[in-house]
Amino acid sequence: MSDNTISILDGSTFLVSNPNGDIDARPDEAEGLFFKDMRHLSKWKLTMGGQPLNVLSTDASEYYYAQHFCIPPTGTIYKNPTLSVIRRRFVGDGFVEELTVVNHGAEAQEIDLRLEVGCDFADLFEVKDALQKKGEFYQQMRNRQLVLGYRRDSFVRETLISSTETPTEGTVNNVSFRFTLQSKSSWSTKLKVVPVTGETAHSPKFAEDSCGTMRQDLSHWIEQAPTVTCHPEAMRTYMRNLVDIAALRFRPDGMGDHSLPAAGLPWFMAVFGRDSLITSYEMLPFAPELAATALRALAEAQGKKEVELTEEEPGRILHELRFGELTYFRERPQAPYYGASDTTPLFLVLLDEYERWSGDADLVRALEPNARAALEWIDHYGDRDGDGYIEYQRKTTLGLDNQCWKDSWNSILFHDGTLARTPRATCEIQGYAYDAKVRCARLAREIWKDEAFASKLEIQAAKLKQRFNQDFWIEDRQFFALALDGDKKKVDSLCSNIGQLLWSGIVDGDKASALRDHLMGPKMFSGWGIRTMAEGEGGYNPIEYHNGTVWPHDCSIIAAGLARYGFRKDASDVVAGIFEASLFFGSRLPEVFAGYQRAQTRFPVQYPTACLPQAWAAGSPMLGIRTLLGLEPKGEILTSAPDAVLPFWMGTLSVEGIPGRWGKANIVARGDETRVLTPKQIYEETLARRTHLEDEKLAA
């Protein structure tokens, strides 16, 4: 999101405006009021005396609420305004704005307010792809409400706009309020925006005063989370991203009474199986209930039959669920869409990890049929040609070319930059499948009480690991192939996927050091994090979505993998880089940022269309903290690493109230407390250390 926009959100509703509160969206930008994947306001411009307002300050500290403090322009710096305008707004199943005008002067003033409104009813896919509408628009006054509508056959969407103060004038495009405002007095009205889907009018949460309830919910969320104590900047990053996760929670239609995180604002305010699973994994030590709800919701939506358009298959876990116009008319397959080949093994990974943390064997027993169906999908539908690996190839031109986490069309490239043929078997998905079978063997033995099935899974996992370390290893470059292409050729570009292999445990011990050397070398480690593709590869571009950028969630998973294989110092360096990058993003972590070398730019460069907030990016500091402390459940006890390595600036790191089958646990790792560095000192000293280290590596 741009620094020049203000975003507030709640569930499937979000609003993006200019700093003064106005909305004037271009067709191809994600500004406006969005509800269930469609834009319900594309214009919302307030003028006084025909002039737009100047903003003084904006408060958006609560994710569902913002205040815009504005003044009318005076035309000169030598004249101070005597009027101020306060716009307080709330989102949640619609939009409410409390508009107040205050006269600070000694004389009465004639006020002329005009609110220009409009709606293009753009599907979010139409915004992304700049597509044209196919239906017809209508506007009318109905029951003293302004109605903006759109109809295409049986698909109907409306936006209803009303005011507690009767407008002096009202048309289908604007409302006006003209009144005399006495000295030292104020005037206010409440504007209510109601989205209508079909015949259902969704009453905004804040049509009546429910702000207290929302604040109580957020306070409860924060109070239930563990308390993190360390360097103030790291604590601020933890809290900011904890609140972002809270903001992204919602209950999607058709998935029961389950609250799970949307993927990210603005493009992905929807259910994404991969994002929900990974975010829930990251959040296990802090909010384990997310994992439980994600598992239940995704199990309910698990594939049951073969459907070409949506790529649904029995046992497959969904990728994405949308509710907009293009999905309704099957012009996009997300109804839901199942075209992801990693969500199914990741579902199994989370199921086991959640039980290890929570002890919730009842959920594991309840989801046993879903787990068995997922395992069957891995062996049957996932492995298209019977070679023991999960491959993917889209079934429809509307589907995704790449069905791994790097799902842009050009993410799977050879070293020379040429595109790999489909079907593709990317390396990290094989790691997920290996991990899923190892974990499900434990569940089968200990909870499902099926020893034969457990033994079968263990044998399958062992064979997969052995074959993978032979078939994917590139001996002359000393790393694993990014993928096997449609001709079973090794896709030989060096990418961050090899770090996720460490996380899954599929890597033979004698190959781990070579992977570590690649990951932490200057071609891959930018100083802020691990690049998705190494500098020097044919497809490398520091601002290409999956071919050279840095993704916080990817880095946190890689750090966990490095720690798993004993490289705790390297893991600490990666986690430190992500925390240090957050200092430049207002303590928030964006979905992705550019892969420029730290010594070159001296600050992390924004990616132009990155989501912010974004769920698995917001969860990455949490997984980073777990990795630094080495938190691992061992039966009824939460253990930590005796050799924890902390960033030099972090001081002592303690986490109190970690929930789990042990009740609440407190973990402390001692760090250097001799000095508390300022953000500037952290920046300068880290830059000096990293630059020196890079020089040493290049010399070697």
The pLDDT tens digits for 449-465 are 999 999 999 999 999 99
Q: Is the pLDDT of residue 388 over 70?
A: yes
Q: Is the pLDDT of residue 67 over 70?
A: yes
pLDDT digits 0-9 by tens, 541-585? 999 999 999 999 999 999 999 999 999 999 999 999 999 999 999
Average pLDDT of span 46-73: 92
Q: Which amino acid is at 65?
A: Y
pLDDT band at 190 (very low <50, low <70, confident <90, very high): very high
How much is the pLDDT for 688? 79
Q: Determine which helix (DSSP H) or strand (DSSP E) holds 321, and give its type and residue range.
A: strand 320-321
Q: What are the structure tokens assigned to 554, written together?
A: 């990817």
Q: Is the pLDDT of residue 49 over 70?
A: yes
Share of the chain above pLDDT 70, in %: 96
pLDDT digits 0-9 by tens, 509-531? 999 999 999 999 999 999 999 99
Q: What are the structure tokens assigned to 344, written together?
A: 């199914």
Phi, psi of 45 (to 5 degrees): -115, 125
CATH-assigned architecture of domain 6-214: Distorted Sandwich (2.70)
pLDDT digits 0-9 by tens, 610-645? 888 899 999 999 999 999 999 999 999 999 999 999
Q: How far is CA 531 from the centre of its chain?
A: 18
Other Cβ atoms within 10 Å of 256 Cβ, number: 13
Q: Which residue in 265, 439, 474 sits closest to 357, CA to CA?
A: 439
225-695 domain in CATH 1.50.10.10? yes
pLDDT band at 260 (very low <50, low <70, confident <90, very high): confident
Task: Give the domain ranges of the chain.
Answer: 6-214, 225-695
Other Cβ atoms within 10 Å of 409 Cβ, number: 11
Q: Is the pLDDT of residue 604 over 90?
A: yes
How much is the pLDDT for 210? 55
How much is the pLDDT for 255? 61
Q: Determine which helix (DSSP H) or strand (DSSP E) holds 513, and give its type and residue range.
A: helix 509-520
Q: What are the structure tokens assigned to 487, written together?
A: 């001709």
Residues 6+ apart with CB under 8 A from 156: 149, 150, 196, 197, 198, 199
How much is the pLDDT for 699? 61
How much is the pLDDT for 691? 66
pLDDT digits 0-9 by tens, 664-676? 999 999 998 877 7
Per DSSP, helices labelled H in 225-367 are 232-248, 273-282, 289-300, 325-328, 343-358, 361-366
Q: At what angle do helices 211-224 and 232-248 cross, to 10 degrees?
A: 130
Q: What are the structure tokens assigned to 366, written together?
A: 């309840």
pLDDT band at 219 (very low <50, low <70, confident <90, very high): confident
pLDDT digits 0-9 by tens, 77-130? 888 889 999 999 999 889 999 999 999 999 999 999 999 999 999 999 899 887
Which of 18-22, 252-256, 325-329, 417-421 is predicted with the least confidence, judged by mean pLDDT? 252-256
DSSP 449: -
**Which is it for strands 43-48 and 136-142: parallel, antiparallel or unpaired?**
unpaired
pLDDT band at 265 (very low <50, low <70, confident <90, very high): confident
pLDDT band at 27 (very low <50, low <70, confident <90, very high): confident
How much is the pLDDT for 697? 58
Entry pTM: 0.93
| Residues 31, 16 contacting (CB under 8 angstroms) | yes
Per DSSP, helices labelled H in 39-175 are 124-129
| Residues 403, 392 contacting (CB under 8 angstroms) | yes
pLDDT band at 286 (very low <50, low <70, confident <90, very high): very high
pLDDT band at 217 (very low <50, low <70, confident <90, very high): confident
Backbone Cα Rg of the chain: 27
Q: Is the pLDDT of residue 155 over 70?
A: yes
Q: Is the pLDDT of residue 61 over 80?
A: no
Tell which wins on pLDDT, 63 or 371: 371
Phi, psi of 5 (to 5 degrees): -125, 155
Q: Which residue in 67, 8, 33 sits closest to 192, CA to CA?
A: 33
Average pLDDT of span 294-309: 96
Q: Which amino acid is at 564?
A: R
> Long-range pairs for 491-494 at CB < 8 Å and ≥24 separation?
491/412, 491/413, 491/414, 491/420, 491/424, 492/414, 492/415, 493/413, 493/414, 493/415, 493/533, 493/534, 493/537, 493/538, 493/539, 494/415, 494/518, 494/523, 494/524, 494/533, 494/534, 494/537
How much is the pLDDT for 695? 61
User: 100 has which bridge partners?
Assistant: 86, 188
How much is the pLDDT for 692? 62
Alpha-carbon distance 174 to 146, whole Å?
Answer: 9
Per DSSP, helices labelled H in 605-677 are 615-618, 620-629
Average pLDDT of span 479-496: 98
pLDDT band at 431 (very low <50, low <70, confident <90, very high): very high
3-state secondary structure of 385: coil
pLDDT band at 378 (very low <50, low <70, confident <90, very high): very high
How much is the pLDDT for 77? 80
Q: Which position has the token pair 């094989």?
A: 430
Q: Angle at the Cα of 483 (from 478 to 485), degrees rounded to 5?
A: 125
How much is the pLDDT for 165? 94
How much is the pLDDT for 257? 62
Tell which wins on pLDDT, 225 or 60: 225
> Taking all residues of the chain, what is their mean pLDDT, rounded to a whole number?
93
3-state secondary structure of 675: coil
Residues 6+ apart with CB under 8 A from 409: 401, 402
Distance set, CA 208 to CA 98, 172, 250, 326 (Å): 12, 25, 20, 33
Q: Is the pLDDT of residue 19 over 80?
A: yes
